[in-house]
Structure 1
Amino acid sequence: MREYIKAHGGDYSKTDSEDLVKDYEDLVKENLSYYFDLIKDDDILQTSNIFLEHKILQNDLASVKTVSDLYDVIHKHLKFYSPSDLASFIHEVNLPISSKQLLRIINIMHAMLQDELLDSIALELKDLPKEEEETLIHHYEGIREDVMALESACRKLSSAKTLEYVKDLTTIKLDIMQHYLPADMEDEYKPYYDNTKEKKDVINKILQISKIYSKAQLFDMNIKQLVDIKNTIVEQNRLTEKQRKSYKKYIEVFEDTANLSEEVFNENVRNALEALSNEQMSELLLYFNTRNHFILNKLNTAIQEAKRKNGRRNRFE
């Protein structure tokens, strides 16, 4: 770490480890910022070049003799024009092709060009740390409509010197994240973690046991949050199942009231009050209200007595 700070002109003589780490992180972030400036897609045509590019397009279109020639022109200029703009310019030349057919051809070739450029970028990034590789590829996939941007990044990454610099920086950045900012790893490398088996397995488990969250909502969370949610749902389901079984048990117990002594009946009521939720107790009373008023009255009397003794007033009113 000191050697890296020294190599980049920083003050490496500090003895406070926290200050040293902060300087190290700031320096790496500064260099990473330079890296993104280096490969970001800023090669926007200057005004003077726009006219030149349009002139080149006109000359190329004038030389079109075959369908193959037209394809070559489209492929060449899709790097500078949107499909709709290019279709408009080509249509002005009055080539023997309908506007609808022309736009369809251009859209197909545009998609092919996007894939070519993205494949080239992915190939250049393959030796980066996996976390960085997948995160950067996700970034470029997100701007696939901007062919000029992809072309610019592809050209810059094809430089061995630039690529080596990028590889060094991303390796250092990953090392810093792992050692000093581990809690931020998932936020920094979200596309990578979204593709891990661990995250996918937890999400699939949650979707199997609950309908509360959508898949998209779950992918927005980090693995720790997902594990906590999964454990909470599992516990809630366990308690719900336990209460369901208890409810069924006490239905059967109270249906057999005729065979129970007063003492045993009252004890079962007290146990039911402890085992069942308020909602389940209300359901239990409703169940006997529609089937056996004798049992219902006994239950109400026993519940009131239990409430009086335990101070649990108004719980089921």
Structure 2
Amino acid sequence: MALSRDRMIEFLKRHDYDPNTLQSMETKEIQEAYQEVTKKLLGSYFHLTNDNKSIKTNSILLDMGELTEFKQKLKDCANDVITLIECLQEGYMKFDYSEVNDLLAIALKDMPMHKMQKISHIAYRSFQEILLSQIATALKGLPKEEFKVLEEFYEKRRNDTQFLHQTIDKLKDPATRQQILTMARVKLMVVKDFMPSNLYDVYRDYYNNVPQKLELVAKVRALTGLYSKEYLKEMPFEELETLYQDILKHNEQEEQDRKMFLKYSQAIQESVDNNDDEGFNEICYKAVTHLTQKQLSMLVEYMNGQNPFFLSKFESVVHEYKKKLHIKR
């Protein structure tokens, strides 16, 4: 639904437009001005949030005293894994990833390599989580749609810890953080009001992870293993609902086919075992009249495999059945 003239005027007033000038403008002119302002805001927003050019730090000579102190700290933590992980987290915060691991290898040279690698992996992973958590905390005021999009964006950059550090520093500035929050709200409003058909594509990460969709994905996967979780999450909600209903119907039909197959195959087998030709003919008549083509084909194929004389007897019964139908007509 498009914004009203009054709402656009109020918006433009907050962006230094003269109220009297706005009142004298045609609605089309106001719409053009509104779109121009929002484009500028969104351009700045994407620059602030999606700038993927990581700034390289200048090569510097690290203080040898700091390195020596850190190496000794690693040695002191050698027998306490939890403390060692915390120590490594502090190191990753201050030094380069490879430098920390080099110092770890030197300080704990007697530790088995596989154990050292595992501890390092856990420490670095938890260090990344700390950085991502700090970013998430700074962005808590975002609309939920925007928050999820940015959360996924930074998650994909988790290995670029320098970029995450720079983002945290940027968000520490109240003015920058407020600018991002404001422009995120504007972006959401513009998409909802002017591009509602693009809402899912723009906020795919959000809509793919809402509880209702995740619950439906779980239901589909409980019924069939044909689809991966990610494939189902990417499917539009309406299509996913249709798929779920189709699978339910298919499974219900499969269960019905199974029950009918068991019922008639057991009855036919009993009539054969008891040499009950009359019972055999009766159950075959019922099978022909009550079973679907698929169910009947399954039954005939199975019984023919069980008894080499079944097919000829069955065809004879069917022939007699067709003759009776012809006579009735």
Quick check: TM above 0.5? yes
Give the equivalent residue in structure 2 for 1:195: 209
Q: Does 1:50 align with 2:58?
A: yes
C-alpha distance in 1 between matches for 2:55 and 2:262: 72
C-alpha distance in 1 between matches for 2:131 and 2:159: 11
**Residue 297 (structure 1) aligned to one of 315, 318, 321:** 315
**Structure 1: runs of 5 or more not aligned:** 310-317
**Change in 2 beyond 3 A, CA 1:308/1:16:** farther
**Change in 2 beyond 3 A, CA 1:284/1:155:** same
Give the equivalent residue in structure 1 for 2:301: 286
**Change in 2 beyond 3 A, CA 1:170/1:247:** same
Give the equivalent residue in structure 1 for 2:156: 142
**Change in 2 beyond 3 A, CA 1:86/1:158:** same
Give the equivalent residue in structure 1 for 2:41: 31
**Of 137-146 and 299-308, the range deviating more from structure 2:** 299-308
**Residue 170 (structure 1) aligned to one of 178, 184, 191:** 184
Offset of residue 232 of structure 1: 0.9
Give the equivalent residue in structure 1 for 2:278: 258
C-alpha distance in 1 between matches for 2:97 and 2:64: 19
Offset of residue 69 of structure 1: 9.8
> Does the CA-based 8 Å contact 2:132-2:164 persist in structure 1?
yes
**Residue 67 (structure 1) aligned to one of 69, 72, 89:** 72
User: What amino acid does structure 1 have at the position aligned with 2:315?
Assistant: N
Offset of residue 108 of structure 1: 5.7
Q: Does 1:98 align with 2:112?
A: no
Tell me, what secondary structure is at the counterpart of 1:50?
coil
Tell me, what secondary structure is at the counterpart of 1:128?
coil
**Of 78-87 and 160-169, the range deviating more from structure 2:** 78-87
**Change in 2 beyond 3 A, CA 1:103/1:26:** farther
TM-score normalised by the chain length of structure 2: 0.67
C-alpha distance in 2 between matches for 1:117 and 1:183: 35
User: What amino acid does structure 2 have at the position aligned with 1:132?
Assistant: E
C-alpha distance in 2 between matches for 1:8 and 1:247: 77
Tell me, what secondary structure is at the counterpart of 2:226?
coil
> Does the CA-based 8 Å contact 2:45-2:184 persist in structure 1?
no
Tell me, what secondary structure is at the counterpart of 2:58?
helix
Offset of residue 297 of structure 1: 2.8
After TM superposition, the structure 1 = structure 2 runs for residues 161-240 of structure 1, keeping only pairs within 5 Å, are: 161-240=175-254
C-alpha distance in 2 between matches for 1:28 and 1:282: 65
Offset of residue 118 of structure 1: 1.5
User: What amino acid does structure 1 have at the position aligned with 2:47?
Assistant: D
**Structure 2: runs of 5 or more not aligned:** 76-83
> Does the CA-based 8 Å contact 1:41-1:150 persist in structure 2?
no
C-alpha distance in 2 between matches for 1:284 and 1:95: 73
C-alpha distance in 2 between matches for 1:113 and 1:167: 26
Q: Deviations over 1:36-84 (max 9, x none)?
A: 3224354512xxx623xx22x1455477487349999977874686422
Q: Name the % identity.
A: 22
Give the equivalent residue in structure 2 for 1:276: 292
C-alpha distance in 1 between matches for 2:259 and 2:119: 65
> Does the CA-based 8 Å contact 2:74-2:107 persist in structure 1?
no
> Does the CA-based 8 Å contact 1:80-1:147 persist in structure 2?
no
> Does the CA-based 8 Å contact 2:38-2:186 persist in structure 1?
yes
**Change in 2 beyond 3 A, CA 1:198/1:246:** same
Offset of residue 172 of structure 1: 2.0
Q: Deviations over 1:133-186 (max 9, x none)?
A: 122122212211111100111111121111111111111222233344444333
Tell me, what secondary structure is at the counterpart of 1:207?
helix
